[in-house]
Amino acid sequence: MKLQALVRHMACITAVAFFLDGTLGAWVHQASAGVAVAGAGSATYYANEWRQAKKELKALEVAEKLQGQKSPKGMVLRKLLAARKKCAISSLVALLAALAAYRSRGVQEVPSADASSVVGQPYVPGLSKTKPVGEAALVEEPPEEKSSATGDAANVEEQDKDGYTRLIRAARDGDMDEIQALITAGADVEARSNIGSTALMFAAESGHTAAVKALIAAHADVNVINDLGWTALMYAAGTGGVKAIKALIMAGADVDTRNVDGFTALMYAAECGHTAAIEALIAADADVNATDNCGVSALIWAAIKGDVKAIKALITANAKVNAKNRYGFTALMFAARNGHTESVEALMEAGVDVDARNNDGLTALMYAAGKGHAEIIALLEAAQKAKE
């Protein structure tokens, strides 16, 4: 099996293993410009990018043989292959390490998987089989049976095979009557699921603002961290729940907490394309220049997505336009490569260095040329001539 295929398949298998353990639930990522919709996160993304670059290079090499010489585009693709290979393997190692850390907890019971539960869900390591959104919402699910919250304490705190208490399930579903009844009956608002998630996290992920506020009023810890390093604020940011974000921040949520991947709530909001969530976090003084374990900032994520409004908001908040990730890539390089003309213009207006090179010596212009984005090529060439 070819190496890039092995990385991609291993990443998918690892993500499925998480899912079967009830760990990641709905982990579906919808991104722009060739970013794969996959449950394995960045490992699958880079592996797919790697495969695509190799496919393009293979076709180009045929033309190079006919011409008897290597082309500039071929040189760019060869360097891109090496960079994507590094990223894919690095991301897979991190994913496997996270799985090993989780499995070390010694989970004894494995819940059944329901593929339909991930349809239409946003990219966030899901806490549970949350209520579906979009098209999936058209499919009715049978209601869960629930007993009176006035039963004995053991009944109130009883946990299912995933470690969900009745309060967690009620928070996940936004069942306010059940939530209020359970809190009145003395339910533990800090009870945790098998991956250390609380009712507040489920409510935040599912976008149930009323449930979030009710749990906060019941003194739920807004800064508790689960086994994945996630906080309630991160879940709210990943799903774009602006009202939930504001409620958590008002209750004292730390906007700059990082998870095991080095991500902050702001990075998740940028990665998932939630501009309003980005603005709410910026207003709460989130660190706009924080980077994840690969050196990727919120601005770089916004450039990858082509989210011009988010780019401008981050720049206004003093985001560093020339910041580079671990491999030397800038926001401009990603925007140019992915064909986001308006994003390129916004970055250029902010004074970005159009001649910056990554660790492989490649510039934004080279990436635009490699993808054939004529309008962006013209913009960058004009900027270079203006500097001469």
pLDDT score recorded for residue 238 = 92
Give the model's pLDDT for residue 74.
61
Is residue 346 within 8 Å of residue 315, measured between CB atoms? Answer: yes
> How far apart (Å, rounded) are the C-alpha atoms in residues 174 and 180?
11
Same domain for 295 and 252:
no
Q: What is the domain range of residue 340?
A: 288-388
Separation of CA 184 from chain center: 36
List of residues 6+ apart from 269 with CB closer than 8 A = 237, 238, 240, 277, 278, 281, 298
Q: Which amino acid is at 315?
A: I
State in Å, rounded, how far the first CA of the chain is from the last one: 49
Does residue 264 lie within any of the structural domains?
no
Closest CA to 273 of 245, 243, 304, 236: 304
Which residue ranges in the chain fall short of pLDDT 70? Answer: 1-57, 59-154
Predicted pLDDT at 33: 30
Cα atoms in the 13 Å half-sphere on the side-chain side of 206: 25
Domain boundary among 259, 278, 305: 259
Q: Two tokens at 152?
A: 């004995």
Number of domains, the chain = 3
Please tell me whether residues 246 and 359 are part of one structural domain. no
Is the Cα torsion angle 133, 305, 301, 5 positive or negative in sign? Answer: positive
d(CA 103, CA 100): 5
Same domain, 130 and 252: yes
- Which residues touch 204 (CB under 8 Å, ≥6 apart)? 212, 232, 233, 235, 236, 239, 241, 244, 248
- 351 in the same domain as 238: no
Model's pTM, two decimal places? 0.65
pLDDT of residue 213: 97
Report the percent of the chain where pLDDT is more than 70. 60
Looking at residue 20, its pLDDT comes to 44
Tokens of 347: 């970055």
- Rounded to the nearest angstrom, the gap between the alpha carbon of residue 86 and the centroid of all alpha carbons in its chain is 20
| Confidence (pLDDT) at 116 | 29
Same domain, 152 and 250: yes
Confidence (pLDDT) at 25: 38
Q: What is the pLDDT of residue 317?
A: 96
Mean pLDDT, rounded, of the chain: 77
| 21 within some domain | yes
Q: Give the separation between CA 326 and CA 122, rounded to whole angstroms.
A: 27
